A and B are shown apart, each in its own frame.
Chain A
Amino acid sequence: MSSAEPVIRSRQTEKEVNGISTQVVCTEFSNYIFIVLTQYGKMGTLISITPDSRSNDISTPAFSTKVLLGKDEPLTHVCAKNLATFVSQEAGNRPVLMGLALKDSTVDAIKQMKEIIKSCQVW
């Protein structure tokens, strides 16, 4: 055993969103922010959210989402983009890898979940 200090930083929390227990774990890598957001305790659908690199103008960059594992449905892309865009922007345009397993994906729930992600800031 050596070096007690881990090279990977992570923060986690557990909160209720509309009565449903919701866990968030944010982990920082130099090339990715990894977020697990789950109401099942499982990884769920894996999505990558990447800022498009083509434009370097002042306007906010566009983001592309890709389902890496799991059901590829439109709502998943919408939720992932909504939840992770601000993280990527705050983290110097780093891509975000997200594990998403939601029972409730209403606008109101997503809004609360964004706040929970903010409370686990590692970037």
Chain B
Amino acid sequence: MNDARNGEVFEPITVHNFSERILEQVIHFHVMKLSGGFFLWVGSSPVLSNLAVSMSSRYDSMPSSTLVMGDPSNTAPNSLAQRLAKKTKKQVYVSYSLPMTNSNISLLVESRIKKEVELHPEHF
């Protein structure tokens, strides 16, 4: 799919959607693959509530992460971005737009994403 233009490797952006019923709730996932990273949105309704960015650092075994949008008291977007950056070694943008109520769900959501990364690495 790559072709050289302007002396650079040109990679087209791709979009991938999937959804899963988790704890009686349909959760939607939207992945946009970019060059060197990806954007992932997780939610049950089409709201963009927050955005965290994470990438590996040579100075720390844990990737550094920052919240660029949304409520800073919600740690879910940051921690998910950080763990996905560690797993994929890429720059990761995460919007975790699920209500904060259930913390069990975030573990299940994370394992569902990791399963998708393993099944379809080409989308991330």
Q: Which residues of A contact B (CB under 8 A)?
A: 1-3, 6-8, 10, 12, 14, 19-21, 23, 25, 27-32, 34, 36, 38, 40-43, 46, 48, 68-69, 97, 103
Majority SS at the chain B contact face: strand
Interface: B108 (CB within 8 A): no
Identify the stretch in B46-54, B56-64, B75-83 within 8 Å (CB) of chain A at 4 or more residues. B46-54
Decide if B15 touches A68 in the complex (CB within 8 Å).
no
Decide if B11 touches A29 in the complex (CB within 8 Å).
no
Decide if B19 touches A97 in the complex (CB within 8 Å).
no
The 3 closest A-B pairs by CB, nearest first: A41-B35, A6-B17, A68-B68
Decide if B11 touches A41 in the complex (CB within 8 Å).
yes
Decide if B32 touches A36 in the complex (CB within 8 Å).
yes
Interface size class of B (residues with CB under 8 A): 20 to 34
Decide if A41 touches B10 in the complex (CB within 8 Å).
yes
Cα A35 to Cα B29 with chains together (Å):
18
Decide if B47 touches A29 in the complex (CB within 8 Å).
yes
Nearest Cβ distance between residue A99 and chain B, in whole angstroms? 8
What are the residues of chain B within 8 A of A23 when measuring CB–CB? 12-13
What are the residues of chain B within 8 A of A27 when measuring CB–CB? 30, 32
Decide if A14 touches B30 in the complex (CB within 8 Å).
no
Decide if B45 touches A3 in the complex (CB within 8 Å).
no
Nearest Cβ distance between residue B30 and chain A, in whole angstroms? 5
Decide if A43 touches B17 in the complex (CB within 8 Å).
no
Cα A14 to Cα B18 with chains together (Å):
24
The residue that A32 contacts in the complex, of B21, B28, B48, with Cβ under 8 A, is: B48
What are the residues of chain A within 8 A of B36 when measuring CB–CB? 41-42
